[in-house]
Structure 1
Amino acid sequence: MGHKLKIVTIGGGSSYTPELLEGFLRRYHELPVTELWLVDVEEGQEKLDIIHALCERMVAKAGVPMRIYKTLDRRAALQGADFVTTQLRVGQLKAREKDERIPLSHGYLGQETNGAGGLFKGLRTIPVIIDIIKDVQEICSNAWIINFTNPAGMVTEAIYRHTNFKRFIGVCNIPIGMKMFIGDVLRLTPQDELNIDLFGLNHLVFVRDVRVNGKSRFDELLEGVATGTLSANSVKNITDLPFNEGLIRSLRLIPCSYLLYYFKPKEMLAIEMGEYYKGGTRAQVVQKIEQQLFKLYKDPNLDVKPKELELRGGAYYSDAACEVINAIYNNKNTEHYVNIPHNGHIDNIPPEWCIEITCTLGQDGAQPTSRITHFDEQVLGLIHTIKSFEIAASHAAISGDFNDVQLALNLNPLIHSDNDAELLARKMLLAHEKWLPNFTNTIRDLKTSKGK
């Protein structure tokens, strides 16, 4: 691919960026990044400055010839880019707080990738990612976009459904977190080869088989999860509740932790409502963690990624992204778990759907190579329901139409009333007005009707 390797990170002021850089530095012998450009928006300038300075110290300590740049000019940064990573949060953590608090104030789950909160994060994010794609197509059309902006499944669906850009891969930390959990539980060594058969949608994946050195060890893992001696929860931002033993035994699948929202909606809502009434939401917890992190990042003597970063729910996102870039750049043809259109690999869902599945990654991108070619019937209904929601949500993000927002909310199984769907649509559109330019006319009409 030539000597120069340029990577552009959009959302470069993110607290996750030091982990991303650590991943590049660890792999420098095979992934020789010569330029890393950190791009952010005006509101993120202060964080960008702090992150840039820390990254420069990390590179100096590593002693590698990598240059770190910072800019608010995305188009300038994209010139000659080989890879673009997207890790942005439109409206920053204050918008996430609204995604959580507004639904909870009406007795609904408040979560950044599920339910009403997940929808509105998607509505804010999808148009911005599409704008980035337009720039990439014009400025560096051969670049790959590796996206780990949530809701990753909905974003990936929108890109493949509403643009003609094909060099786009959605990455999530849930599968890599599950893989690390499985490796720890089975007490594997670095010499052991671990293969996982997982399938589903982003934040809605199930593990069907686990093989160590070619031999299945799924039954012992399933037994541990069923009896509650093992926790399948691999993320910090979800309350750790055990799945019902009968459910796990009847499914014969290991669900990711986000499936608690669908198998235990009553319990999860009760926990979140309790936190809400005490005056706290996950967004507020994260803001406190961020404040602590950036205080650490400012220390001129800090030249490594601090351990405290793992308190953030998205730990290992960046590691997953580095591995994906490495596999493409070096044509490794190695196993990864990503979000892409399956193009008929699964025989009982529409071929154009974007799903999260085991793939082989090389210079031509991701190809589904999972041994799974058929989704289990007992979870197919839930997968269809959430995919219908993602499709409706991606359409609403582009149309800017109030009825399209209502439809998406009504299709989501965490919303239990069409009247409440309308109420949440109104309140959240007005609350997020600044970050929803596609909805300018809709919001103007809402304000007019409110005044009557």
Structure 2
Amino acid sequence: MRLTILGGGGFRVPLVYGALLSDRAEGRVTHVTLHDLDPARLAAIARVLTDQAARARAEGVPDAPPAPEVRVTTDLDEALRGADFVFSAIRVGGLAGRAADERVALDEGVLGQETVGAGGIAYGLRTVPVAVDIARRVARLAPDAWVINFTNPAGLVTEAMSRHLGSRVIGICDSPVGLARRVARTLGVADPAAARADYVGLNHLGWLRGLYVDDRDVLPELFADPDRLASFEEGRLFGTDWLRSLGSVPNEYLHYYYFNREAVTAYRQAKQTRGAFLHDQQARFYDELAAGQDPADPAAPAVREGAAWDAWDRTRAEREATYMAENREAAGAGERTADDLESGGYEYVALALMRAIARDERTTLILNVRNRGVLSILDEAAVIEVPCVVDATGARPVAVSQLSGHEAGLVAAVKAVERCVLAAGESGSAQEAVKAFALHPLVDSVQVARRLLEGYRGAHPGLGYLRKD
């Protein structure tokens, strides 16, 4: 089976390759094509994957199948031809673009996070046209391929691509899986992976409303036990009183909504924004590998075997430990624990999704797919994030509890914003772009929305397609 990874020079690609190395079943991925616009980044990640495969061989079981063959290319059409699956993990504008998204928003006193608020809108405005072009090329060059979208904002980008690929594009995110597992572990569930999550919303805007073990909802037990409720990451982040008031466990990204003023203050006071930190951190990593240095000993005359992997692994550990640091500081939640550091493993979600489709191994996963009437407050084509049954025919959303009250209001409002971004990306209308900013719940003024667009146009030449109406 052939897999193409768009954004193949990206830092998180070794996570995906690690999942592929662990797959020894029949029909596994045997060929991986990495596509990126930056040849140096491609070369660096290819070195990491070479070290990773060598490590797997040294530590693996006898008679294990060979590691998937890796090739790299900067030609998009070449990368797509013959692909069975396409992972879209692009970052339009790179981390420098993310840092600019954050700074422009914070200068206006609003949130600049890459998927939430003004920053997410800016990221979407420059990503949607590129994602649509990719979708059209996939439809032409690899019509039988399935696209698994990692690109943020994941729900928005998946919806943009679905207009050209239909149900053959599926968005993934590890946040809901990680949340459900943490709650299950906190409640002492013997097999957290077997618990059925009633999770519903949009990407980075969802709530765990039930957790079923043997058809019994065990989530009320969490709210009845303040000590347990305060013992895991979301309990510390949101506070036990607020979670008990909600009666559900929000996705961690809802901290930006429920504690917006504190989050913005923390971000403005931080020495660096998250995007700027990652930009500097990853620039050092790529520069070291490009220079041929051993990051553990830059004075060494030659790079030792495994040095690229070791450099990547150290950088990854630092990245994960500092995740959402400003939010935890604002909440007084302290450092992340070992359990907090364990995400849902988006690479394993992707592997499970590929297995289910390619081998007709029926499974249930929380994914970003078209609504198909599951949520009554949204239309059929709206991409939502809910549990889905997956098999050879694709992913189908299952019935979930309906949203009401403030949850329904937030989802409807943010989906309306996403639709404005899609309209702007399709038409090039600056008016639609301003409307997207102005309608977002975390932007408090039409005038601020207008200034945000002008600030982003100045920071990103790629937004030049947005014309004055």
TM-score range, shorter chain: 0.7 to 0.9
SS in 1 for 2:256: helix
Query: Offset of 1:226 from its aligned partner?
Result: 9.3
Instruction: Tell me what 1:249 maps to.
Output: 244
Aligned residue runs from structure 1 range 148-159, under 5 A: 148-159=150-161
Cα distance, 1:329 vs. partner? Answer: 1.3
Residue 13 of structure 1 and its aligned partner are, at CA, apart by 0.6
1:374 aligns with 2:432: no
1:205 Cα deviation after fit: 0.7
Counterpart of 2:276 (choices 261, 267, 284) is: 284
Identical-pair percentage: 30
What does 1:41-440 correspond to in 2, within 5 Å? 41=37, 44-63=38-57, 64-65=65-66, 66-160=68-162, 162-190=163-191, 193-223=194-224, 229-233=230-234, 241-243=237-239, 245=241, 247-275=242-270, 278=271, 280-291=272-283, 293-294=285-286, 295=288, 300-302=305-307, 306=313, 308-310=315-317, 311-312=319-320, 313=323, 316-370=345-399, 372-433=400-461, 435-436=462-463, 438-439=465-466
Q: Distance in 1 between matches of 2:368 and 2:192?
A: 28
* Distance apart, 1:127 and its partner CA: 1.0
In 1, the alpha carbon distance for the partners of 2:440 and 2:149 equals 24
Cα deviation for residue 350 of structure 1 reads 2.4
Q: Is the 1:345–1:373 Cα contact (8 Å) retained in structure 2?
A: no
Distance of 1:329 and 1:341 partners within structure 2: 20
Q: Distance in 2 between matches of 1:348 and 1:223?
A: 31
**Could you tell me how far apart the structure 1 residues matched to 2:70 and 2:2 are?**
10
- Contact residue 98 and residue 123 of structure 2 kept, 8 A: yes
SS in 2 for 1:12: coil
Return closer, same or farther for 1:36/1:225 CA change in 2, 3 Å cut-off: farther
Aligned residues of 2:186 and 2:232 also touching (Cα < 8 A): no
The amino acid that maps onto 1:107 is: G
Contact 2:357 2:392 in 1 (8 A): yes
Question: Quick check: 1:225–1:248 contact (8 Å CA) kept in 2?
Answer: no
Conserved 8 A contact 2:106-2:268: yes
What is the TM-score of this pair, normalised by structure 2?
Answer: 0.84
Query: After superposition, what is the alpha-carbon deviation per residue over 1:249-295, rounded to whole angstroms, capped at 9, x for unaligned?
Result: 333111111111111111111111211xx4x1111222244246545
Aligned equivalents of 1:406, 1:231: Cα separation in 2: 39
Check conservation: 1:205, 1:356, Cα contact below 8 A. Answer: yes
**Distance of 1:53 and 1:254 partners within structure 2:** 41
1:326 deviation in Å? 1.7
- Cα distance in 2 for residues equivalent to 1:34 and 1:164: 25
- 2:313 counterpart letter in structure 1: P
Partner residue in 2 for 1:237: none
Root-mean-square deviation (Å): 2.5
**25-34 or 15-24, larger mean C-alpha shift:** 25-34
CA distance in structure 1 between the partners assigned to 2:448 and 2:350 by the alignment: 38
| Distance in structure 2 (CA, Å) of the matches to 1:308 and 1:417 | 39
Give the aligned residue type for 1:28.
R
Give the secondary structure class of the aligned counterpart of 2:238: coil
CA distance, structure 1, for counterparts of residue 176 and residue 18 of structure 2 = 20
1:378/1:117 CA distance change after superposition, 3 Å = closer
Instruction: Classify the secondary structure of the residue corresponding to 1:258.
Output: helix
Contact 1:202 1:356 in 2 (8 A): yes
In structure 2, relative to structure 1, the CA distance for the partners of 1:282 and 1:225 (3 Å cut) is: farther
Q: How many Å apart are 1:436 and its aligned residue?
A: 3.0
Normalising by structure 1, we get a TM-score of: 0.87
C-alpha separation in 1, matches of 2:280 and 2:177: 26
Letter in 2 for 1:390: E
Instruction: Provide the C-alpha distance between the structure 1 equivalents of 2:137 and 2:193, rounded to a whole number of angstroms.
Output: 43
> What is the 5 A alignment of 1:13-32?
13-32=9-28
Distance 1:252 1:409 in 2: 30
In structure 1, the gaps of 5 or more residues are 235-239, 446-452
- Unmatched 5+ stretches in structure 2: 58-64, 289-294, 297-302, 325-342
Structure 1 CA distance for aligned equivalents of residues 261 and 407 of structure 2: 19
Q: Secondary structure at the match of 1:93?
A: helix
Q: Deviations over 1:322-368 (max 9, x none)?
A: 22112211212211001111211233432222110010111111111
- Structure 1 contact 10–86 (Cα < 8 Å) conserved: yes
CA distance in 2, matches of 1:134, 1:91: 21
Separation (CA, whole Å) in 1 of partners of 2:383 and 2:426? 18
Distance in structure 1 (CA, Å) of the matches to 2:227 and 2:438:
32
| CA separation of 1:192 and 1:324: change in aligned 2, threshold 3 A | closer
What letter is aligned with 2:463?
A: L
Q: Is residue 193–residue 213 contact of structure 1 (8 Å, CA) maintained in 2?
A: no
Instruction: Identify the match of residue 35 of structure 1 among 31, 35, 44.
Output: 31
Task: Give the aligned residue type for 2:438.
Answer: N
Q: Number of residue pairs matched?
A: 424
Shift of 1:176: 1.9
Distance change in 2, residues 1:118/1:348 (3 Å): closer
Shift in Å, 1:307: 6.0
